[in-house]
C-alpha cells in the first residue's frame, strides 16, 4: 500500500486520490504557451478531479538555446520566457478550495542534448541584478548544453556525473485578477524552483478563481539549493500529474506532502521573510490539522524543523519549511 | 518663465510640454475602476500628447470607510482595493518610449470628512504582515476620519494641524503582459507612495506596450516618509495631469523632475536594493543625458546625493534618489 | 535666546546645558588613537558634566592617503582604520544614564588638500562586498584629494562646488563588555555617518558602563544620503563638543535633537529593520516624554514622520526617523 | 581507516590530524567563563597542535534556568549570556593561519533535567525583536525543562521523542582587536548555531591573532534548521575536541569538513547575503584547493550545491553552503 492512500489528497480530495481519466497535452494540443499566471486566457483543458494530465513541457527558453555558441542576449526576448502549459480548468474548483497535484512522472523529451544551463548578465545569485543593482561589469555569457538521460543522469564532465532528480520548477494556479510573469514565485505557486516538487510528491495549491486554472512548466533535470547561477539544468519533458480537488480547505500559500514530511512554502524577499512565511504557515497547519497548540508547535519546530532553500535568484526567493510526519502527534 | 519650459518634458516631448486638449474623467465617465495595472481592459480614454486629463479619483478604499466605527475587516474585499482611473491610451506611444506626466493640480472632492487613515491586521511598517510573518496578536483595528481642506490642511487634533501637501500615491503604465495589483509599486510605477509625486512635478514612466496605458489613483492629502502604518491620509480628489510623450527615450523605472532636482525611483525588497536601484539608475541617467562619467557620478552622489523613502509597507518598498540640478554640470 | 536653553540637554542635564571647563585633546594629547569602541583602554580624559572638549580628529585613513596616486590597498591596514579620539570618562555617568553631546563646531585642520574620497574593492553601496558577496571583478581603485575650505566649501570640479556642511561621522559610547570596530554603527552610536550629527545638534548616547567612555572621530566635510561609494569627503578637523550628563534617562539607541526636530537613530540590516528601529524608538520617546498614546503616535508619524538615510555601506545601515517639534503636542 | 586520515586537517595540519596530549577544562579549571570573543583576557590553556581538550561547557543560560516556573526576564542579565570556555592559546598560531577543530564527542552533564528551551520577549524568528522592531505585544514567556539522554534522546511529549544529535552552538577564534558578544556569529565563528558542527566534523577557523584564542560553548542536544524560537535544546556538556594548526592557509570565514562534504559558512543579514557569503567562499575554495575554474564551480553548484540554515535568530543569520566530496574533481 502506498503512503498516498493516507495522504491529505486521498483523505480530503473529491476523487479520494484515485486516478481518473487521462488527458494529453502535447505541444500541438497546448498550442500557445503562456508567460504569465493569470485568468485572461481560455483554458486549454477542462478536467474533473482525479484527472491525469500528460503534458509536454518546454524548457525555460522554449528550446531557443540550441548550442553552446548561441548568445542568449540575442535570442531571448523578455518577457516571453519560461513558457507554461495550461491553464487547466478543474471542474468544481472555487475560490477558497485547494488543488492537490500529485507528480507521477517526469521524463526528458526531444533531441539531445536537451539540458541547458547558462550565465547571462543581470541574473543569478552571485552577480548584480536589476534589483541588487551595482556598477560592476557583468560576467561573460556562458552556455552549457548537456545530454540528460533519465537512467544514467548527466555527465557534467569527464569526472562528474549528476543524477537525474527531476522536478517541476514552475507550477501554480491563477491569481484572481492579477497576471504575473511565470518567472516569479508567489502565493499561488509559480516559479518556486524547489527541488522537493519532484516525482512522488503532492503539491497543494490555493484556488483563487473558479476552475483554479493550473499552469506548469520549467522542469529541471537536477538543481542545487538556491539555483545559484539562476539557471538549473533546464530541459523539455513529458510530465505526468494527477489533479485532485479539496473543497473548503483554504491555504494561503503552497504546501507539499511526501511520504516522510509535510512542508509549507514561502516566497518573498528578503530570504528571512520567506522563511518566516513558510514556518508560520507550517505552525498554523500543525495547529489546524494536527491538533498542536501554536506555541507548542513553534517550540517543537525549533528542535526539529527543516528548511529547504528553493531559489535565491527569482523575483522572490523561495523557502520550504517542513516537519517529519513522525513528529505530527502532539 | 516657468522651469517647465526647460524641463525634459518640454525639451523631449512631442507636445513640447505644451497643454493640449482637456479631457474629463469623472466617476461616471470612468465607470469601472481598476485594481490591477495591466493590458487586459479597454482604454477609457485615447488622447494625444499634450492632453490634459481631469480625473475624479477615489480614495484607496473606494469610499467604503465612511465613519470611524466602520470595521475595515468586514468592509474591504481584497484584492478589490486601491481603485485606479484609466487606462489612458496615449496615441503614438510604443514600447521603449516614455510618458511624461506633469501634475498640475490635486484638490479634495466629496462630502467631508474625506480623509481616512486606519490600522488593520497584517498591514503596516511596525507590525507583522503576510511577508514578515509572526505569531504575535495584531494591533486593534482603528479608523480615523478627518476633514481635509486644501487651504487650511487637516486638523489632526486640537493642537496639531497637518498641511495639505497632496500627491498621487499610485500612478503608472501598464506592463506588457502582466497585470499587477494596484497595491504594488514596480518598474512601471504603481503604488510608490512617494510624496515627491506632487503638484508641480513631472513623472516619467516607461512605456511597455502600445499606447502606454496610464493609470492613476490613490491620492494622499499628506504623508510622512515610509507611510508608516500603511495608510496615509487617503482622500478622493479631482486630479489634473498633463501628459506628454517622449519618443525613443527608454527608461527602466520611473524618474521624476522638479524645478530643483531630478530623481530616479526604485521599488523592491529589501530596502537597500530599492536604494541601489534608484541610485544606479540616477548614475546611468547622469551619464547618458548630462555627460558624466559613471564613476565620477558615483563619487559625486556620495557627497551630495539625496534619498527619499516613499513607502515601507507595500509589496515592494520605494526609494527615490535625487541630485540637485545645480550639480548637473560635470 | 537659543533653542538650546529649552533642549532636553538643558532641561535634564546635570550641567543644565551650560558650558563648563574646556579641555584640549590635541593629537599629542590623544597619543594613541583607537579602532574599537570598547572598555579595554584607559580614558584619555576625565571630565565633569558641562565639559567642553576641543579634539583634533584624524580622517578615517589617519592621514595615510596623501595623494591621488596613493593606492589604498597597499597603504591601509585593516582593522586599523577609522581612528577615534577618546575615550572620555564623564564623571558620574553610570549604566542606564545618557550622555548629551552638543556639537559646537567643526573646522578643517592640516595641510591642504585635506579632503579625501576614494573607491576601493569590496566596499561601497553599488559594488559587491564581503557581505553582499559576488563574483564580478571590482571597480578600479580611484582616489580624489580635494581642498576643503570652511568658508567656500570644496571645488569638486570646475563647475561644481560643494558646500562645507561638516558633521561627525563616528561618535558613541563604549559597550559594557564588547569592543567593536569603529567602522560599525550600533546601539551605542559609532560609525553612523548620519549628516544630522552636525554643528548645532545635540546627540544623546546611552551610557553602558561607568564613565560612559565617549569616543569620536571621522568627520566629513560633506556627504550625501547613504555615503554611496563608502567614503564621504573625509578630513581631519578640530571638533568642539560640549558634554552633559542626564542621570536616569535610559535610551536603547542614539537620539538627536536640533532646533526643529527630534530624531531616533537605528542601525542594523536590512535597511527596513534600521527604519523600524528608528521609528519604534521615536514612538516610544513620544509616548514617554511627550504624552502621546503609542498608537496615536504611530498614526501621526504615518502622516508627518521624516526619514534620513545615514549610511548604506557600513557593517550596519543607519536610519534616522524624526518629527518636527511643532507636532510634539498630543 | 577513518576518512579523517584524508581530511584537510590530516593533510595540512602540523600534527597531521593526530591526537596529542589531553587537557582537562573543568568548570573549576575554567573558573570565569566569558561572554565575548576577544583578545582582552588571559588564555585559560596553552596547547600544542594535536591537543585534545575535554571541556565542561555550560548551557547558554549558565544553568540559571532551573525549572519551568523560572522567569528568564528576572533571572537573565544581558549581556552576561552564553558563557564560553577558553580562550585556548594554540602554540605557533599566527594571523593568517587556520585552526582545525575536530569534534570528538559531546555528552550531557549535570543533574537532570539538563535540557532547556524557552520563549522570551524580543527574541526569536517569528516575533518582533530589537532589530525587527514592532509595536505588538510579545508572546508570553514560556520555559520547558527536558531530560536529555545521550542514548535515548529527549522525550518531548508522550508521543514525540527527539534524538540526541548534539553539536557545538558557539565556537570560534578571537578577533584581532574586537571583543564581540558570544551571542553573535561572524567571520571568526561564534554563535553560528549550525547543526553540522557536530560529532565527527572538523571545523576550520581563521586565526586573527597570535595563539588563535579558541572559545567554545553553547552545546545543543538537538536543533531544527533556523533555531526558530531562538533557543534550541540547550544543555551543559562534556565536549571533547582535538585542535590542529594549519600554517599559511588563510580563510576569510569558517569552513567545515565531514566524511561526505565540505562546507563554507557565512553569517550576516539579510539571509541572502549570508548565503552569498557561503557560496562565494565555497567557489573560491573549490578553485584554490581543488582546481576548479570559478565560473565552472558557480555553474556546478547551481546543479548540486546544498544549503543549510543555521540560525535565523541571532544578531547575524548563519548559512552553510556545501558540496559532496564526490563532486570535487573538476
What are the pLDDT digits (tens) for A11-20? 999 999 999 9
3-state secondary structure of C172: strand
3-state secondary structure of B46: strand
pLDDT at B329: 86
What value does the mean pLDDT take over residues A220-240? 98
Q: Is C256 within the bounds of a domain?
A: no
Same-domain check for residues D236 and D132: yes
Domain count, chain C: 2
Same-domain check for residues A171 and A273: no
For residues B299 and C229, the answer to whether their CB atoms sit within 8 Å is yes
Of the residues B251, B279, B295, the one at which a domain ends: B251
Of the residues B224, B251, B278, the one at which a domain ends: B251
Same-domain check for residues C167 and C35: yes
The answer to whether C135 contacts chain A (CB < 8 Å) is yes
What are the pLDDT digits (tens) for B204-256? 999 999 999 999 999 999 999 999 999 999 999 999 999 999 999 999 999 99
Same-domain check for residues B242 and B215: yes
What are the pLDDT digits (tens) for C248-287? 999 999 999 999 999 999 999 999 999 999 999 999 999 9
Same-domain check for residues A141 and A218: yes
Substitution target in C122, C129, C179, C266 with the highest count of D β-carbons within 10 Å is C179
Same-domain check for residues D206 and D237: yes
Q: Has residue C71 got a pLDDT over 90?
A: yes
Q: Is B31 within the bounds of a domain?
A: yes
pLDDT at D1: 63
What are the pLDDT digits (tens) for D257-303? 999 999 999 999 999 999 999 999 999 999 999 999 999 999 999 99
Across all residues in chain D, what is the average pLDDT?
A: 97
Segment 256-275 of chain C within 8 Å of chain D by CB:
266, 268-270, 273
Of the residues B251, B270, B296, the one at which a domain ends: B251
DSSP C226: B
What are the pLDDT digits (tens) for B111-131? 999 999 999 999 999 999 999
* Chain B / chain C CB contacts < 8 angstroms: 155
Asked if C181 lies within 8 A of D176 by C-beta distance, the reply is: no
Q: Is C84 within the bounds of a domain?
A: yes
What are the pLDDT digits (tens) for B18-32? 999 999 999 999 999
Q: Has residue C144 got a pLDDT over 70?
A: yes
DSSP H helices, chain D, are: 8-12, 27-30, 72-75, 271-290, 294-304
| Dist. CA D28–CA C2, nearest whole Å | 60
CATH classification at residue C275: 3.10.28.20
Asked if C279 lies within 8 A of B306 by C-beta distance, the reply is: no
Q: Is D256 within the bounds of a domain?
A: no
What are the pLDDT digits (tens) for C277-328? 999 999 999 999 999 999 999 999 999 999 999 999 999 999 999 999 999 9
Q: Has residue B330 got a pLDDT over 90?
A: no
DSSP C325: G
Q: Has residue D330 got a pLDDT over 90?
A: no
pLDDT at C96: 98
Enumerate the β-bridge partners of residue C37: C180
Cβ contacts of B10-15, under 8 Å, gap ≥ 24 = B12/B100, B12/B246, B12/B249, B13/B49, B13/B50, B13/B100, B13/B244, B13/B245, B13/B246, B14/B49, B14/B50, B14/B92, B14/B244, B14/B245, B14/B246, B14/B247, B15/B48, B15/B49, B15/B50, B15/B244, B15/B245
What are the pLDDT digits (tens) for A67-110? 999 999 999 999 999 999 999 999 999 999 999 999 999 999 99
Report in angstroms the alpha-carbon separations of B148 from B153, B216, B226, D307.
6, 20, 21, 53
CATH classification at residue B215: 2.60.120.580
pLDDT at A115: 98
3-state secondary structure of B321: strand
Residue D275 CB coordination number (10 Å): 29
| DSSP secondary structure of C76-110 | --TTS-S-BEEEEEETT--TT-EEEEEEEEEEE-S
Collect all residues with Cβ–Cβ distance below 8 Å to A75 and sequence separation of at least 6: A61, A64, A65
Shortest CA distance from D269: residue in chain B: B270
Q: Is D213 within the bounds of a domain?
A: yes
Same-domain check for residues B67 and B165: yes
Q: Is C86 within the bounds of a domain?
A: yes
Same-domain check for residues D304 and D235: no
Collect all residues with Cβ–Cβ distance below 8 Å to A221 and sequence separation of at least 6: A108, A115, A148, A154, A162, A164, A165, A166, A232, A233, A234, A235
How far does B136 lie from chain D, in Å, by closest CA?
6
Same-domain check for residues B240 and B320: no
Enumerate the β-bridge partners of residue B44: none
Handedness of CA D56, D58, D62, D64 (dihedral sign): negative
| Dist. CA D318–CA D225, nearest whole Å | 10
Same-domain check for residues D236 and D292: no
Asked if C136 lies within 8 A of A132 by C-beta distance, the reply is: no
pLDDT at A1: 63
Structural domain of C292: 261-327
What value does the mean pLDDT take over residues B253-278? 98
Same-domain check for residues D46 and D83: yes
| Dist. CA B315–CA B183, nearest whole Å | 7
Q: Is C255 within the bounds of a domain?
A: no
Same-domain check for residues C145 and C58: yes
What value does the mean pLDDT take over residues A192-211? 98
pLDDT at C330: 79
Substitution target in C302, C315, C318 with the highest count of B β-carbons within 10 Å is C302
Instruction: Say what the ipTM of the complex is.
Output: 0.98
Task: Tell me which residue of B307, D320, B241 sits closest to C320, measured CA to CA.
Answer: B307
Q: Is A256 within the bounds of a domain?
A: no
Q: How many CA atoms lie within 13 A of B299 on its CB side?
A: 23
Task: Tell me which residue of C209, C15, C187 sits closest to C100, measured CA to CA.
Answer: C15
3-state secondary structure of A276: helix
How far does A52 lie from chain C, in Å, by closest CA?
44
Segment 140-199 of chain C within 8 Å of chain D by CB:
175-181
The answer to whether B242 contacts chain A (CB < 8 Å) is no
What value does the mean pLDDT take over residues C134-150? 98
pLDDT interval class at D329 (50, 70, 90): confident
Give partners of D (≥3 CB pairs < 8 A): A, B, C
Q: Has residue D71 got a pLDDT over 80?
A: yes
Rounded to 5 degrees, φ, ψ at A5 are -65, -20
Amino acid at each position: 500500500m502506498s503512503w498516498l492512500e493516507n495522504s491529505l489528497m486521498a483523505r480530503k480530495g473529491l476523487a479520494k486520490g484515485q486516478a481518473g481519466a487521462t488527458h494529453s497535452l502535447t505541444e500541438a494540443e497546448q498550442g500557445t504557451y503562456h508567460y504569465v499566471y493569470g485568468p485572461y486566457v481560455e483554458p486549454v483543458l477542462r478536467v474533473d478531479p482525479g484527472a491525469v494530465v500528460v503534458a509536454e513541457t518546454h524548457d525555460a527558453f522554449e528550446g531557443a538555446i540550441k548550442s553552446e555558441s548561441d548568445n542568449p542576449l540575442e535570442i531571448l526576448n523578455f518577457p516571453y520566457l519560461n513558457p507554461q502549459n495550461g491553464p487547466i480548468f478543474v471542474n468544481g474548483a472555487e475560490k477558497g478550495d485547494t488543488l492537490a497535484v500529485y507528480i507521477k512522472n517526469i521524463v526528458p523529451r526531444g533531441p539531445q542534448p536537451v539540458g541547458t544551463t547558462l550565465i547571462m548578465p543581470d541574473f543569478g545569485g552571485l552577480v548584480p541584478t536589476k534589483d541588487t543593482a551595482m556598477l560592476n561589469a557583468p560576467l561573460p555569457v556562458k552556455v552549457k548544453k548537456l545530454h540528460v538521460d533519465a537512467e544514467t543522469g548527466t555527465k557534467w564532465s569527464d569526472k562528474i556525473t549528476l543524477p537525474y532528480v527531476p522536478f517541476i520548477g514552475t507550477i501554480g494556479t491563477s491569481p484572481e485578477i492579477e497576471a504575473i510573469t511565470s518567472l516569479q514565485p508567489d502565493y499561488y505557486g509559480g516559479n518556486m524552483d524547489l527541488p522537493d516538487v519532484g516525482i512522488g510528491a503532492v503539491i497543494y495549491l490555493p484556488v483563487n478563481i473558479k476552475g483554479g486554472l493550473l499552469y506548469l512548466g520549467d522542469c529541471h533535470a537536477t538543481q542545487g539549493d538556491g539555483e545559484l547561477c539562476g539557471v538549473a539544468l533546464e530541459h523539455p519533458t513529458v510530465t505526468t500529474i494527477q489533479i485532485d480537488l479539496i473543497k473548503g480547505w483554504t491555504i494561503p500559500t503552497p504546501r507539499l506532502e511526501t511520504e516522510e514530511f509535510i512542508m509549507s512554502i514561502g516566497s518573498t524577499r528578503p530570504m528571512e521573510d520567506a522563511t518566516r512565511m513558510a514556518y508560520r504557515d507550517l505552525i498554523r497547519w500543525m495547529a489546524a490539522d494536527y491538533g498542536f497548540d501554536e506555541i507548542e508547535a513553534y517550540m517543537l519546530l525549533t528542535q526539529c524543523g527543516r528548511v529547504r532553500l528553493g531559489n535565491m535568484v527569482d523575483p522572490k526567493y523561495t523557502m520550504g519549511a517542513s516537519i517529519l510526519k513522525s513528529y505530527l502527534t502532539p
